[in-house]
Amino acid sequence: MLDYLEGGLNLVKHLDEKSEALPDHIGWRLWQASRAWQAEFAAAMRVAGHGWFTEARAALLGHIPRVGTRQSTLIDRSAISKQAVQQLLDGLETEGVLERLPDPKDGRSKLVRYTHKGLDALRDGDRIKLQIEQDYIARLGQQRFAALMDALRALDARQAGAIDREAGV
């Protein structure tokens, strides 16, 4: 058995030593920058007094307009399982960030909307996002930051157009 394990370890070591460096590509850089931004934002939200705030919860909250939405619409928008959405909503409701109410237009549906605590968190989030942006401007300079924003908008517009064409819109 020991020979078998040592053989496996030697194979892994061999593969590690022979593996080529991964290419430095835009997808990787965008992903890294996005992850860094998300982590910085979540940490700042917790420092601002929103101890309940996590990146997973933020991913769901980003799909809820300030006026609220139907829970079924939220499930479609978030692209995560119904069970995961339900679990995240349960936690956010327990924390007093969101509330679920019967939909007056459809008795089977629930409306998800922010409480006062949730709206306060959104206002803090807006302020924190602007602070992070100012930090980026300080790091990159105004011109480079403006160019970055222009490039990201152009990429987003192309992506949105491609999705619309795919959908036949």
Question: For the segment 97-143, what is each residue's pLDDT rounded down to a tens digit?
Answer: 999 999 888 878 899 999 999 999 999 999 999 999 999 999 999 99
pTM above 0.85, yes or no: no
pLDDT of residue 7 exceeding 60 = no
CATH class, 27-166 region: mainly alpha
Instruction: Let me know the angle formed at the C-alpha of 55 by 79 and 25, rounded to the nearest 5 degrees.
Output: 75
Quote the mean pLDDT of the chain. 87
Domains of the chain: which residue ranges? 27-166
Instruction: Let me know the angle formed at the C-alpha of 45 by 42 and 49, rounded to the nearest 5 degrees.
Output: 140
Give Rg (Cα) of the chain: 22
